Structures are given as structure tokens and as C-alpha cells.
Amino acid sequence: MSNYHIKNLEEYFKVYRKSIREPEEFWEEIAEEHFVWRKRWDNVLNWDFTKPEIKWFENAKLNITENCIDRHLRTKGDKTAILFEPNDPNEPAQHITYKRLADQVNKMANVLKDHGIQKGDRVCIYLPMIPELAYAVLACARIGAIHSVVFAGFSSTALATRIQDSDCKMVITSDGSYRGSKSIDLKGIVDEALKSCESVKSVLVAKRINSDIQMMDGRDKWLKPLMEAASGECEPEIMDAEDPLFILYTSGSTGMPKGMVHTTAGYMVYTAYTFKNVFQYREGDVYWCTADIGWITGHSYIVYGPLANGATTILFEGVPSYPDHGRFWEVIQKHKVTQFYTAPTAIRALAKEDISYVEKYDLSSLKVIGSVGEPINEEAWHWYDDNVGKKKCPIVDTWWQTETGGMLISPIPYVTPTIPTFATLPLPGVQPVLMDENGQEIKGNLAEGRLCIKFPWPSIARTIWGNHDRYKETYFSAYKNHYFTGDGARRDATGYYRITGRVDDVIIVSGHNLGTAPIEDAINEHNAVAESAIVGFPHDIKGNALYGFITLKESGETRNHDNLRKEINQLITEQIGPIAKLDKIQFTVGLPKTRSGKIMRRILRKIACNEMDSMGDISTLLNPEVVEQIKNERL
Ligand code: WTA
């Protein structure tokens, strides 16, 4: 009997136990029965967390697009693979069938080849949520090029850093993007970025907003005529199981983002398996994940996971507030969505609006609703349960990371009883542990500590592009022989997990991971700034917002402080993107430091969060006197 589709709690425990006792047999059976391979593996798993080195399905050969597209053509050619819902509700939705998807992906793959892209080359994709984004991702996979999708809300500087880090040969972009009532000049951002990216030889441009843009001769080409002229047949490149499929950047504790490298076979098997179970996907369902493909959630659960299951996946270009706050609910009614997957920040924002926006629409098609990206607070959980799921749809609070490739801790709907704010139990194959301050595993159910995973699962990122040492240092050094997640968690008496949040220098704002270091670097570039420290503080909608403590070079700085605040946020917008702007900026006479000169963020965090009664001992600081002053001037 296949373990592929879990249907009740007893079966979950049985399957889970097997996946721990015999992980290789467990994953081998799933890989064998549910995917097409050009050559079988010689060995299921080879791993060593001390190096670290992880290989799944060693020496197997495959192409992920054969699994996501070709194999469905015979039975599902006319089924909608991607349902494109445009920003403007008056623009008709597009039902892109598996047949059409195959045609478009092959055409784009041929265009890439014609532009010299070969197996192993990196292609940067900087596109809004339009069908070309999915085609571009799959076209790269078709020919074995490594895609690096950069979220199209990042600034030109952030884009350039990512292009340079992985030496991309090509950028695929569009003339612009729609975002609610606004439009954004994406091509202009790319042009600016490419001034410092010599590796890029060609730029393919999709037309979306029909704006007047500059095309650089010899470098830039319109995508449409090239695709129209290209053949709709393209033999898939035969890839090794461990060949890189993509690079996706995520924030870290230093300025340079980490290019997480995901490989082919394990990623495919794991995202497909988790999609099937965590959404209890059945033939005929219409699945909608509102994330952007620029993030891991979009890679794994808009593109690869759903398509590997032959599902219909919605690609939504718009925002939850346009043309009004009923948009999500309108789309659910319109397309009879069965599974809906979104972020707590969106839920909180919509919960603040008039309830009539939700009540106006028929949401009775929904079977499962999901949450991802940050801890969901109790109030938001209940609002979601009451008003969207109408208390009849299980909420899957899915915990995972860019680095994990797929969900690791999550309820299985209609199987795992849920408790608000708990991600509940590990999925099959996942072995979470909690560690104490001394690096020891905390045994027994009731516990709180740092969340680590002690055994590899198929979709774990294999390295950081060009920096294996940093990979080892960041994830495998804090606790010997364990993958360290950077999150804290609590385990209750029944073994359920509740993620408490980041324990490192990453702050999650509206579901976006932001490292404090790059933001501080951006601020410090301002000529009036001497030093800065960023911390997070709780925010009703965003989850966390950013609080900046900034000292100026000259205390008598003549600009008025509001102007200075604007300039600083402008710099952040240019260097990173508007998502990293500070909500509060307090100019201080100094920053609290240890005697060795290290900024004490812990103290600043307490001040920003207004937890000033529990600051602990500050007498050992180099400059305890500044703390009083910062407290008094708190915003
Ligand atoms: C946080 C997103 C609580 C966590 C898929 C993690 C969550 C980081 C949850 C990864 C959840 C994600 N409950 N926290 N259900 N899901 N997180 O790389 O801190 O964008 O480490 O991946 O988001 O964010 P990333």
C-alpha cells in the first residue's frame, strides 16, 4: 500500500513511524510510484550533517517538467493547469491548460537556448505574477538552467546584488507591473541594476502594461515575437537528481543575502508529497496560494507541488485590497476555490475591514484554508476560522522555510486535530527536536527551546550558492549533527509544536524575512548617520514592524528630523525595497554597548516593545546612562 495519501490519524502515526524507522524505504516507495524517471537511483540517501553533504536519489535521472507537465498531457491535456487571475477584475481570467502550458514552456525554453542559455547557466527572473513568470521558471527547468527568481518588489540595488552573486547570464522581466491601482516600472529597475552586472548578456521582456520603455540594442528583446516564432517542442534536458534546480535568496544576519540552492529530485518528491497531503488535494479541486512566486511558497506551492500533482493552481496578479477589500473572497467565489493558502499578515489586514466584504461572497467551495510565513496569532486564527472557513474548514498552519524547500510541521486537514496557533505535528520524514542553551536535546513532550531537525528530508537546501562554508556555519554549527532553523518553539504535553518566532537577527515583517544588518548598512550610508541598530516590535497587521535607533555624527544636525527620517527611509527603499522601511526612527545620543563595543540589541528590543520593566542588569554596560535617555525619548 502506498503511503502517498494519508486519510486518518491512525494512518498518520503509522506512516510517520515508518518514515522515521525506515526513511529510505519510505521515500523510495513514494518516489517509485508517483513520478517518472529516466533512470532509477542507485542509492536513496547519503548524508553527513558535519560536512554538510546531503544527497537524495543518487544518480537518478529525470526532468522535473516531465513530471509537472508532459506526463499529464495524455489524460489531462485540456485540464486547466494555471488559472491566471489578473490584477484588474474586469480583465478576463485565463485558463491555461496543460497542453498550452507545455507549448508555452517549450517555446520559452527554445528561446532561452537560442540566446545561448545552457544547462547549469543561471537565469534571473524578475517578473510580476503573470503567466510568463511560471513559463520562465519551467522553461529554465526544461533545459537545466538554474533559475533565480527575485521578488519584483526588490530595488535595483537588491536585484543587482543577487544577479552578481550568482553570475546570471540573462534576465527575464517585463515592461512593468500592476499593483492595485498603481503600476511599477520594472524594466527601469532592471536597467539600473544592470549597470553593475556584466555577466548579463541578454534581457527578455514580456509586455504587460504597454508602457514606453527603453530597449537596449543587442541586449534587450521582446519576448512575445520570439516565442511566437519558436517551436513548441523542446526535448527535456536529462538532469541528475542532485543537479541544482534553482537558487532563491533569503535574508541572513550579514549584509549579503544567502542564495539557497535547491536540487531536483528530492525537492520534486517532497513538494509534491506535502502538497497532496497538507491540502488533501483531490482531482477536480481548484487550489489557490496567494503568495508571490518570488518567494519559496510560490516556488513550491504555486508551481512545482501543484503541477507535479496535475492540479489546477491559481496565479493571482493582484493585491487583497484592490479594487476593494473583498477581492480575495470574490476570487474564491468566482473560481470555486477549494484550498486557500495565505499569510497571517493578509488575514490581519482583512480582519480589520468591514465584515460585509467577506459576507458578500459565497465561500462554500472551500475545504481547507492555510497559513504560512510567520506565527499566526490567536485572534487572526479565530477570525479566519469563523469568517473564511465558517468553522468547517481545517486551518493548516504550515511551518517551514526557504531553506527547507517544503512544509515540515503542519496539520494534515481532516486528519490532525488543530489547536489555534499550533503548527501541530511533523510531517512524515521530519524529525524535529528542541535544544537547550547548552546544546542538549530536551527530551519529553513538554518543552521549549530552539528548533532543530536531526535527520535530512528530501527538499533540504544543499548549500548556499558559492559559499558552502557559510551554509555550514549558519545551519550546522550551532548544534552538532543538527540542522538549526533559527526559530524557537514550544512543544505541548501531546507533542504539538508551536513556533514562537525567530531567535536570530532576522525580523519577519508582513511575512517578509528581513535581516537587520543590510538595513543598518543602508542607513549608515546616509552622511549624517554615525551608527544605527534595528529591532522589531509588535504590529497589529504586519506582525512585526521595524524600530530604528540612530545616532547622528553631529548632534547639532541642522535638518529637521522628519526630513531626515524621510531620507533614511528613501535610502532603505533604494537599497533594499519599500518592505524594509522603518516605522519608527528614534535619534539617540548613543547606543547601549557592552564593554567590548557590541551593540546590545536585547535592551533596544525591550525599549521598542515597551517592556522596560524587564530589562535585566544594565550596570555592566559601557554606557548605562544612555539607556535612561533612550527610554525617556521612546517613540
Ligand atoms: C517563519 C516561508 C510560525 C519562521 C515558508 C521561519 C513561521 C520563517 C511559519 C521562514 C508558521 C514560516 N508559523 N512561523 N506557520 N511559517 N514561519 O524563508 O520564522 O520566507 O523560520 O519561508 O518564517 O520564512 P521563509
617 has a pLDDT exceeding 50: yes
Cross-strand partners of 531: 551
Structure letter (DSSP) for residue 242: T
Is ligand 1 within 6 A of the CB of residue 433?
A: no
Work out the angle at residue 437's Cα, subtended by the Cα atoms of residues 435 and 439, and round it to the nearest 5 degrees.
55
pLDDT, tens only, 385-443: 999 999 999 999 999 999 999 999 999 999 999 999 999 999 999 999 999 989 999 99
424 and 408 Cβ atoms separated by less than 8 Å: no
Q: Name the closest-CA residue to atom 13, ligand 1.
A: 375
Question: Is the pTM value of this prediction over 0.75?
Answer: yes
Could you tell me the domains of the chain? Answer: 2-430 (3.40.50.12780), 510-632 (3.30.300.30)
State in Å: Cα 401 to ligand 1 middle.
5
pLDDT, tens only, 492-512: 999 999 999 999 889 999 999
Is ligand 1 within 6 A of the CB of residue 143?
A: no
The alpha carbon dihedral of 465, 505, 551, 558 has a sign of: positive
Strand 220-222 to strand 239-240: parallel, antiparallel, or no bridges (unpaired)?
unpaired
Work out the angle at residue 274's Cα, subtended by the Cα atoms of residues 269 and 279, and round it to the nearest 5 degrees.
140
- In the chain, pLDDT over 70 holds for what percent of residues? 99
30 and 273 Cβ atoms separated by less than 8 Å: yes
Burial class, 194, CB count within 10 angstroms (exposed 0-12 / middle 13-18 / buried 19+): buried
57 and 243 Cβ atoms separated by less than 8 Å: no
Q: Which helix (H) or strand (E) holds 228?
A: helix 223-229
8 Cα distance to chain centroid: 29
CA nearest 276: which of 576, 622, 15? 15
pLDDT, tens only, 431-454: 999 999 899 999 999 999 999 999
Is ligand 1 within 6 A of the CB of residue 250?
A: yes
Rounded Cα distance between 91 and 87, Å, is 8
204 has a pLDDT exceeding 90: yes
Rounded Cα distance between 615 and 506, Å, is 21
Q: Please report, as a single letter, which amino acid is at residue 359.
A: E
Number of other CB atoms surrounding residue 480 within 10 Å: 9
Is ligand 1 within 6 A of the CB of residue 249?
A: no
Is ligand 1 within 6 A of the CB of residue 401?
A: yes
pLDDT, tens only, 260-314: 999 999 999 999 999 999 999 999 999 999 999 999 999 999 999 999 999 999 9
The per-residue pLDDT for 3 is: 65
Average pLDDT, the chain: 96
Pocket test for ligand 1, best of 250, 274, 372, 395 (most atoms within 8 A of CB): 372
Q: Please report, as a single letter, which amino acid is at residue 588.
A: T
